[in-house]
Structure 1
Amino acid sequence: MIPLGHQHIVEFLNCDSKILNDKEALENLLIQAIDKSELHVEKIISHKFDPVGVTVLAVISESHIGIHSYPESKHLSLDVFTCTDPEKNFRFIEYFKEKLKPSSVRLVQIQRGDSIEINRDDWITSSSTYGFDVRYHVKENLYRKESKFQLIEIIENENFGRMLFLDRDLQISEYDAHLYNEQLVKPVESAGIAVKNAAIMGGGDGGILNSVLKLNPDYVTLIDIDEDVINLSKKYLNKICENAFEDPRVTIHIEDVIKFIDGEHKFDAIICDLTMHPGAFSGIEHKDFLNLLFTKIKNMMNENGILTLQCGGEYEKENTELIKRALTNHFVEVKFHTSFIPSFCENWVFAEARK
């Protein structure tokens, strides 16, 4: 799983002081707020200080929550940390606000994980594990919500237009979607085979699907685990996907690709545009996921079929090496190339292989 958490540090000023020194009342308030926020309590630990002050800690399925009261100052400090939809944090905070009736509330939101970022509504950071992060200005927030699988954000940027982020990783932008898609589709076009039946794994933004349809295949199958990404792309990223999802040649499967490729399917071309941590959805280590994926993809490919895939940024050398070893164990004519994608602010690695 990608390390990504949402921490809200909140200060409630001039609260109802009667409850602030009551350990049982604060425990009950905490449990009620957890329930109202659709979070899930695992354990409560509390302590009443002498002469005043109470600390209550909750271990929740989604991480943890802590409160400490200062009855003498009519003040309560709250720390909410979750690895789920941040809207639940806000519902929790609103419930506390309603019950404590403070004169004012001060709140800081911190993005936790590979990077630590104090959130501002007008910036979004796509973090990496190899020495630098990329920060994008948000001209307009178009959408931000946790799906069943990941945090989905769509913003408008002055230079790159509309941009799609999944768990804070940039996936595509209007400005250079054509450059990214071309790296995956051009090798298929140049393969010298008749592409009658193609498959796209991932690619829920519809950009690659739109490009593949221009090769005039008979059928295209798109497999993506998150239906929300597809529906939101239709709504907000229509310059990228156009009307690709409505094309009668297209069949969409909403499921984990590992489950899909267990079935009986045959394709002339397969384009793999999965996220950088696809095994997280299946609970499989990345190395094992790649070997399983490529084994099953090979079985699905027609003779002399072609596979193309994205491998991440050029500095993700360990990931590229894992992909290279796995590909060469299963395929022939394995090739890698890089292309600079302006919105990613770095060279991106792509691969192709034949059965």
Structure 2
Amino acid sequence: MGGMWYTEKQTDHFGITVEVNKTLHTEQTEFQKLDMVETPEFGNMLFLDGMVMTSEVDEFVYHEMVVHPALNTHPNPENVLVVGGGDGGAIREILKHKKVKKATLVEIDGKVIEYSKKYLPSIAGELDNPRVEVKVDDGFMHIVKSKNLYDVIMVDSTEPVGPAAPLFERGFYQGIYEALKDDGMFVAQTDNPWFKEDLIRKVMHDVKEIFPITKLYIANIPTYPSGMWTFTLGSKKYDPEAVDLNTIPELDTKYYTPRLHHAAFVLPKFVEDMTK
């Protein structure tokens, strides 16, 4: 193999590798190792602690799916919070919903925001929108201090290591419940079912103990471990599978569609078993 290659070791025995044209930026921030690289296959890519966070080519899948199922389930999502998500992709998708009056981003590492704006402008381009408030702060503590404030909360975190580890604990989900309004809902990325079965089972168990409606749904993201990715949704009132497709507005999307809204909740048997 010629050239330079970047490998993410996803388990002790498996990884994903991508050819790199050049390194755009590398830095050990206060919280994690940040690498921004240019690749021929996926465009510019952001790695944090050696893990793929996003790429210009396939980012739309993740960002559309972490946002639109919840925002098309809640009838009036005026005040929305994103915990993490410093690349700005979730914010970009949230702003496609006219009912959203304010979107707040709380990202612990300001360097992620800074270099996403510089090297991922197609993803981070809406972070300066007047409907957006960006806070460089600890998302866990922001949730703790927020009570009955948000209609929808999205946890757009890295994998459960380092600064993101507390974002996968039961106490965090309880805090989210209290930060949401009486009819609020949240969604979190919950990794992949091929390598992280125990994590998915734990998150489903914890969220089910707190939220009356708890659902798992999936999407296909080629640069993420195994390509199959899960999202866990917890809702106080509204069921995403009960949404009338005719009420879902036409959005400028590449992956999410009204029909896919329901289809995403239809799980392969081995994944469905993890939700029980």
Normalising to structure 1: TM-score of the pair? Answer: 0.62
1:206–1:230 CA contact under 8 A, matched in 2: yes
Q: Structure 1 residue 159: deviation in Å?
A: 1.5
Counterpart residue type for residue 294 of structure 1: Y
**1:143-167 deviations in whole A, cap 9, x for unaligned?**
1111011000011111211111000
Matched, 1:306 2:189: no
Structure-2 separation of matches of 1:131 and 1:197: 43
Task: Note closer, same or farther for the CA distance 1:183–1:123 as it changes in structure 2 (3 Å cut).
Answer: same
What amino acid sits opposite 2:233 in the alignment?
A: E
Q: Distance in 2 between matches of 1:302 and 1:130?
A: 42
Contact 1:176–1:341 (Cα < 8 Å) also in 2: yes
Percent pairwise identity: 28
1:293 and 2:176 correspond? no
Of 4, 7, 11, the residue aligned with 1:129 is 11
Out of 312, 318, 342, the position equivalent to 2:222 is: 342
Residue of structure 1 equivalent to 2:46: 164
Code of the aligned partner of 2:58: D
Q: Could you tell me how far 1:338 is from its partner in structure 2? A: 1.8
Residue 204 of structure 2 is matched in structure 1 by 324
Residue 282 of structure 1: CA displacement?
A: 7.8
Q: Tell me the SS of whatever aligns to 2:198.
A: helix
Q: Which runs of 5+ in 1 are unaligned?
A: 1-119
Q: Distance in 2 between matches of 1:275 and 1:283?
A: 9
- Cα distance, 1:275–1:182 mapped onto 2, change above 3 Å: same
Q: Which runs of 4+ in 1 moved over 3 A?
A: none
Residues of 2 paired with 1:147 and 1:310: CA distance? 23
1:100-249, aligned counterparts within 5 Å? 122-129=4-11, 131-216=13-98, 217-242=100-125, 244-249=126-131
1:307 is aligned with what amino acid?
Answer: F
**Larger relative contact order, structure 1 or 2 (CA cutoff 8 Å, min sep 6):** 2
**Residues 48-74 of structure 1: per-residue CA shift (max 9 Å, x gap):** xxxxxxxxxxxxxxxxxxxxxxxxxxx
Which residue of structure 2 lines up, in the alignment, with residue 34 of structure 1? none
CA distance 1:283–1:305, shift in 2 (3 Å): closer
Over 3 Å counting, the alpha-carbon distance change for 1:235 and 1:267 in structure 2 is same
Q: Does 1:270 align with 2:156?
A: no
How far apart, CA to CA, are the structure 1 residues paired with 2:67 and 2:164? 27
- Please list the CA deviations of residues 198-236 of structure 1 after superposition, one character each: whole Å capped at 9, or x if unmatched: 000000100011100111211111111100000110000
Report how far residue 192 of structure 1 moved.
3.9
Aligned partners of 2:68 and 2:93 also within 8 Å: no
Please tell me the residue identity of whatever aligns with 1:136: V
Tell me the equivalent position of 1:23.
none
Q: Is the 8 A contact 1:314 1:346 kept in 2?
A: no
Mapped to 2, the partners of 1:268 and 1:195 lie a distance apart of 5
Amino acid at match of 2:180: M
* Structure possessing the higher radius of gyration over alpha carbons: 1
Q: How far apart, in 2, do the equivalents of 1:201 and 1:312 lie?
A: 16
Distance 1:149 1:182, change over 3 A: same
Q: String of CA shifts for 1:238-265, please: whole Å, max 9, x gaps.
A: 01122x1111111112121121112134
Q: Distance in 2 between matches of 1:192 and 1:245?
A: 23
Residue deviations 1:157-195 (CA, integer Å, cap 9, x gap): 112111110000001111111111111112123214111
Q: Is the 8 A contact 1:126 1:170 kept in 2?
A: yes
**Is 1:260 aligned to 2:139, yes or no?**
no
* AA partner of residue 129 (structure 1): T
Structure 2 residue runs of 5 or longer lacking an equivalent are 237-276
Alpha-carbon distance change, 239 to 125 in structure 1, aligned in 2, over 3 angstroms: same
Between the aligned partners of 2:50 and 2:164, the Cα distance in structure 1 is 20
Q: Deviations over 1:297-350 (max 9, x none)?
A: 000111221211111122211111111111101112211122111222511111
3-state SS of paired residue (1:165): strand
